[in-house]
């Protein structure tokens, strides 16, 4: 093949790839850049929770935040704007779904690079200390040494646009972007990183959301023997070190820290005990108490026995932010936390009850 044919082919290939990139960037199926919205074409987006690392780092790189919310999706449902009302400034919800503490630690130190962090709300999670759980999701791409997360470098998401998978997503957005379109999953708000259950909210309005069924399915999935989140639970002291490192950094650098254990639906706690994880759960609380004071919202309380406070067995509704945040910040005790149903005689360790 002569040089002219090679030049023509490479020109065609380059033009094709460039065109796909521009097309994907404009349609922006995940809402990463917010460059251009056309009603009925690309104003409604797909769920972006599958690219949580890219979303959260893109938000952080914009700067301007002074408060960080750390943890799993259980803190992800808490509204940062409610935190802003109590602390002032600007809050980012930095939850990472089903995350272990090494992920949370790395995201925290990444946030420090681009923001002047003065406050941290840490929604600590029993599952974040499960030795059987490892790095997962899109964080795997950024976890190892010499990555942007490790070196606290800017992450440029251009590679997201120059691939056929995103192209298919863009086509899907255009074809389905009518008034009835909505993501099948929750989405992250690009302004502050909060997890928004827009899908459940609409289903609830349409009377298509069976709360009891979703709670029961949620518990079944968490405790599945073959691949549940609690599978082979062993408390990890390595993961505890990562948590401790965040706490010690905050203490050494005059960053205010509030730690709490998120309140799950009461039957979720029943399952923890019935499936044989009670001792690990008590160990988890005990080890936390040796490191930091925390607010304990676990067990059977007025809050946790009410199904209407939840979307499933472990995720609160956004409206509960107005109740949870003041208690975490020790500005209120109006949760009914002290009114335990003494079913398991759980210890109360350094809680704000």
Does 277 fall in a domain? yes
Backbone angles phi, psi at 260, to 5 degrees: -150, 155
Task: Give the domain range for residue 250.
Answer: 49-157+178-328
Sequential DSSP letters for 236-258: -HHHHHHHHHHHHHHHHTT-EEE
Backbone angles phi, psi at 219, to 5 degrees: -65, -40
Which residues share a beta bridge with 188? Answer: 195
- Any idea what the CATH number is for the domain that residue 127 is in? 3.40.50.1110
Backbone angles phi, psi at 197, to 5 degrees: -85, 60
Does 24 fall in a domain? no
Does 151 fall in a domain? yes
Q: Are 87 and 62 in contact (CB under 8 A)?
A: no
Does 58 fall in a domain? yes
User: To which H or E segment does residue 195 belong?
Assistant: strand 195-196
C-alpha dist (Å) from residue 298 to 94, 141, 338: 22, 34, 11
Q: How many domains does the chain have?
A: 1
Does 16 fall in a domain? no
C-alpha to C-alpha distance for 308 and 300, rounded to whole angstroms: 15
Residue that has been written with the tokens 């600590």 in this structure: 124
Using alpha carbons, select from 218, 217, 193, 213 the residue that is nearest to residue 203.
Answer: 213
Q: Tokens standing for 146?
A: 């010499």
C-alpha to C-alpha distance for 220 and 68, rounded to whole angstroms: 32
Using alpha carbons, select from 202, 143, 214, 173 the residue that is nearest to residue 47.
Answer: 173
* Cβ atoms within 10 Å, residue 88: 12
Does 199 fall in a domain? yes
Does 198 fall in a domain? yes
Q: What is the pLDDT of residue 178?
A: 78
**DSSP H stretches of helix in the chain:** 3-27, 52-61, 73-76, 80-87, 101-114, 140-143, 148-151, 158-161, 164-176, 198-205, 211-222, 237-252, 266-274, 278-289, 321-328
C-alpha to C-alpha distance for 75 and 54, rounded to whole angstroms: 19
- What totals of helices (H) and strands (E) does the chain contain, helices first? 15, 7
Instruction: Return per-residue pLDDT of the chain as tens, 353 residues.
Output: 567 777 777 777 788 888 999 999 999 999 998 888 888 888 889 999 999 999 999 999 999 999 999 999 999 999 999 999 999 999 999 999 999 999 999 999 999 999 999 999 999 999 999 999 988 888 888 877 667 888 888 998 888 999 899 999 999 999 988 767 778 889 999 999 999 998 888 888 878 888 889 999 999 999 988 778 888 899 999 999 999 999 999 999 999 999 999 999 999 999 999 999 999 999 999 999 999 999 999 988 889 999 999 999 999 999 999 999 999 998 876 665 444 433 443 443 333 33
Instruction: Count CA atoms within 13 Å of residue 142 on its CB side.
Output: 26
Residue that has been written with the tokens 């997503």 in this structure: 169
With vertex at residue 108, the alpha carbon angle to CA 105 and CA 112, rounded to the nearest 5 degrees, is: 140
- What does pTM read for this prediction? 0.89
Does 20 fall in a domain? no
* Cβ atoms within 10 Å, residue 113: 14
C-alpha dist (Å) from residue 320 to 74, 79, 219, 302, 308: 12, 9, 21, 13, 10
Q: What is the pLDDT of residue 353?
A: 35
Q: What is the pLDDT of residue 168?
A: 94
């Amino acid at each position: 093949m002569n040089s002219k044919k090679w030049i023509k082919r490479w020109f065609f290939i380059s033009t094709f790839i460039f065109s796909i990139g521009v097309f994907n960037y404009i349609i922006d199926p995940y809402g990463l850049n917010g460059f251009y919205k056309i009603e009925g074409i690309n104003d409604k987006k797909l769920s972006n929770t599958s690219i949580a690392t890219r979303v959260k780092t893109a938000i952080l790189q914009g700067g301007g935040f002074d408060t960080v919310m750390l943890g799993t999706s259980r803190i992800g449902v808490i509204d940062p704007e409610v935190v802003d009302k109590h602390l002032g400034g600007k809050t980012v919800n930095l939850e990472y779904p089903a995350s272990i503490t090494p992920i949370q630690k790395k995201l925290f130190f990444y946030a420090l690079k681009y923001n002047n962090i003065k406050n941290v709300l840490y929604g600590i999670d029993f599952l974040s200390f499960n030795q059987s759980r490892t790095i997962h999701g899109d964080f795997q791409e950024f976890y190892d040494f010499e990555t942007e997360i490790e070196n606290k470098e800017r992450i440029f998401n251009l590679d997201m646009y120059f691939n056929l998978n995103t192209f298919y997503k863009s086509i899907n957005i255009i074809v389905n972007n009518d008034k009835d379109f909505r993501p099948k999953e929750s989405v992250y708000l690009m302004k502050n990183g909060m997890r928004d259950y827009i899908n459940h909210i609409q289903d609830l309005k349409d009377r298509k959301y069976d709360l009891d069924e979703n709670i029961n399915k949620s518990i079944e999935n968490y405790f599945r023997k073959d691949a549940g989140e609690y599978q082979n639970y062993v408390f990890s002291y390595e993961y505890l070190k990562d948590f401790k490192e965040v706490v010690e950094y905050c203490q050494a650098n005059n960053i205010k820290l509030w730690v709490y254990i998120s309140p799950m639906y009461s039957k979720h706690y029943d399952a923890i005990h019935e499936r044989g994880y009670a001792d690990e759960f008590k160990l988890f609380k005990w080890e936390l108490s040796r490191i930091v004071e925390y607010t304990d919202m676990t067990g059977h309380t007025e809050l946790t026995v009410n199904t209407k406070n939840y979307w499933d067995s472990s995720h609160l509704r956004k409206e509960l932010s107005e109740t949870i945040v003041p208690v975490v910040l020790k500005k209120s005790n109006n949760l009914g936390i002290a009114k335990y149903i003494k079913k398991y005689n759980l210890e109360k360790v350094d809680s704000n009850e």
